[in-house]
Amino acid sequence: HYWRSGEQVYFLFGNLETGLTGDSRLERNVRLVVSLDELQLPDGAYRLRAVEGPVVEASRRGERTLDFDIKIAPEDSLVFTLEKIG
């Protein structure tokens, strides 16, 4: 899930039950592909900064996309902001 508040873009991730008992007890590896065009952002380097937690650098950059590899701990959630570097 993502949303925008003013100029800031936020992303919400959660490692929750999906209907199989206990499936949220395992770490999740998620790849987020951010389209700069879809978010109407200028070219440049970006990173994700957790509101409470890690900074995640892009693992790959396409022409107008950025890939971020995120680890979500069991039964956890993370909120990230997308920040321009430089």
* Those residues with Cβ within 8 angstroms of residue 73's Cβ, 6 or more apart along the chain or in another chain: 15, 27
Q: What is the pLDDT of residues 7-62, one digit of tens each?
A: 899 999 988 766 666 677 888 899 999 999 999 999 999 999 999 888 999 999 99
- Tokens 């590899």: give the residue: 69
Cα separation values, 32 from 20, 27, 57, Å = 24, 16, 11
Q: For position 15, what pLDDT does the model report?
A: 84
Rounded average pLDDT over 59-77: 93
What is the pLDDT at residue 17?
A: 66
Residue 38: per-residue pLDDT: 95
Inter-residue contact 81 to 46 (CB < 8 Å): no
pLDDT at 64 over 80: yes
What is the value of pTM for the model shown? 0.86
Residue type, 54: P
